[in-house]
Amino acid sequence: MNLQIRSLLLRRGNKCATHCRSSMEEELSEKMHKEFTVSKETELMHKAMCIWCYGIYKTEEEQKEAAKSYGISWEDALRLKDECLPFAKQ
């Protein structure tokens, strides 16, 4: 085989391999990210636990401000309080 043709084929082969590897990495990355997503309710629970379980926020005003900063409504924080408090005692 001609050296120039062989060189050209190798270069194209490398581009193809790089493209395929890149596509595969993106596909794997997508699947991995989907595995580590949590439901909206679980995310709310985690945020509520941050408010209720660590004892950082003592007053209702501080708790409301924390809920706002965590991006959770005060109503959701109160709704989940009873579920969170048993974890605070552990």
Instruction: Annotate 43-63 with three-state secondary structure.
Output: HHHHHHHHHHCCCCCCCHHHH
Q: Which residue has the higher pLDDT, 88 or 58?
A: 58
Indicate the average pLDDT of the chain: 76
Please give the structure tokens belonging to residue 24.
């595969």
Which of the residue ranges 6-10, 34-38, 73-77 has the most confident prediction, judged by mean pLDDT? 73-77
Do 55 and 27 lie in one domain? The reply is: no
Domain total in the chain: 2
Q: What is the Cα–Cα distance from 4 to 2, expressed in whole angstroms?
A: 6
In which region does residue 76 sit, left (phi positive, over 0), alpha (psi from -120 to 50) or beta (all else)? alpha
Do 18 and 5 lie in one domain? The reply is: yes
Do 84 and 49 lie in one domain? The reply is: yes
Amino acid in position 80: L
Do 46 and 80 lie in one domain? The reply is: yes
User: What's the whole-model pTM score?
Assistant: 0.58
State the average pLDDT over residues 20-37: 63
Domain that holds residue 52: 40-88
Do 45 and 80 lie in one domain? The reply is: yes
